[in-house]
Amino acid sequence: MNQAHYRTVRAFLTGCMCCLIASCGGYRNANSTSRYTGNRAELENRLRAIIEGRPGQVGIAVLYNNQDTLLINNSSDYPMMSMFKLHEAIAVCHALDAQATSTDTLIPIHREELDRETWSPMLQDYMADSFSVSVKELLDYTLVHSDNNTSNLLFQRIVSPTETDRYVRSILPEGDFNISYSEADMKKDIAKSYDNRTSPLSYVCLLNRVFTDSIVSRDKQELIRDAMARCRTGAERIAAGIPDDGNIYFAHRTGSGYTNSRGEIIAVNDGAYVRLPDGKGYAIVVLIKDFGGEENAAERLIAELSAAVYDYITLLNCGLPAAPDD
């Protein structure tokens, strides 16, 4: 989505909701006895019925055909948690491009500067007091494993949260998001989690651009895509609503964690790009804020929403162009 088109979409969505448009025949959800008829409001109604009465605030965005958008509860107050690691990876790659620096560049690390009480698979792989890791590997830990230490290191050594916010905002004008803090900052004060926020629309637009547009150099963007396709977190969320038959391309970024003073989970999130066997694709984001229940219940909710979207999208064999491979 180019900048001019993004502004057009934002202006249109200010006063109304864009709905998915389909003109194909009915399709039955494998988990339901009802059929989709292709009515333009049907998917929105079904998604609203799924989230009705559920604890927390649920925001949904689906973008297909590079322009057609469905939004439910779109506002800019959803805490991203580790979802911001996609923004961070993009900003890191842009900074390296600007410096003509390779992702093979080694970063010296001292174990004493790392947090031993945070989620960090890298700490299990590197046991020495001092060691060096390439930027490529740091990005891999960050996007595949959602490693908090590697994310903190990238913020410290290459781009700050503020610089990340500034760069991503330059490629998503009028983007409804904010990045002010690192994982380390949020761990010290979990209230800061609410300041690293996004709207479903802003996140789905960024996600879509990663897989359909050129935003950093080709090799670095492919690194991001590949890492997201190997992401090991949140398997019971969006992916659980899509057939696992080996013919569907799936890449995603998750975010979740921390419990607020009311006993609610601050965020349970997932955003994915899905490419169907015929090469057609769509981006989907589900953000859940202040969920008053167990995390696995929120994950089942995301999976149910994902299944409804997938069932409906499979109707659209008559309008989705194939996404580019570059």
Domain CATH number, residue 38? 3.40.710.10
Question: Residue type for 148, please?
Answer: N
The three-point CA angle 179-142-231 to 5° equals 110
Question: Residue type for 259, please?
Answer: T
Looking at the domain assignment, is residue 296 inside a domain? yes
pLDDT in single tens digits along all 326 residues of the chain: 444 443 333 333 333 333 333 223 222 333 433 455 555 578 999 999 999 999 999 999 999 877 778 999 999 999 999 999 999 999 999 999 999 999 999 999 999 999 999 999 999 999 999 999 999 999 999 999 999 999 999 999 999 999 999 999 999 976 899 999 999 999 999 999 999 999 999 999 999 999 999 999 999 999 999 999 999 899 999 999 999 888 999 999 999 999 999 999 999 999 999 999 888 899 999 999 999 999 999 999 999 999 999 999 887 544 444 444 55
Looking at the domain assignment, is residue 318 inside a domain? no
Looking at the domain assignment, is residue 44 inside a domain? yes
| 203: number of Cβ within 10 Å | 30
Looking at the domain assignment, is residue 303 inside a domain? yes
Looking at the domain assignment, is residue 70 inside a domain? yes
**Which domain does 262 fall in, by range?**
3-313
Q: CA 310 from chain center: how many Å?
A: 17
The confidence score (pLDDT) of residue 5 equals 40
Looking at the domain assignment, is residue 69 inside a domain? yes
Query: How many domains is the chain partitioned into structurally?
Result: 1
The confidence score (pLDDT) of residue 313 equals 87
Looking at the domain assignment, is residue 130 inside a domain? yes
The confidence score (pLDDT) of residue 33 equals 32
Would you please indicate which residues are annotated as catalytic (active-site) residues? Answer: 82
Question: Residue type for 321, please?
Answer: P
| 52 φ/ψ angles, rounded to the nearest 5 degrees | -60, 130
Please enumerate in sequence order all residues whose Cβ is within 8 A of that of 209, keeping only pairs 6 or more positions apart, or say none: 1, 171, 172, 215
DSSP class of 76? S
Looking at the domain assignment, is residue 204 inside a domain? yes
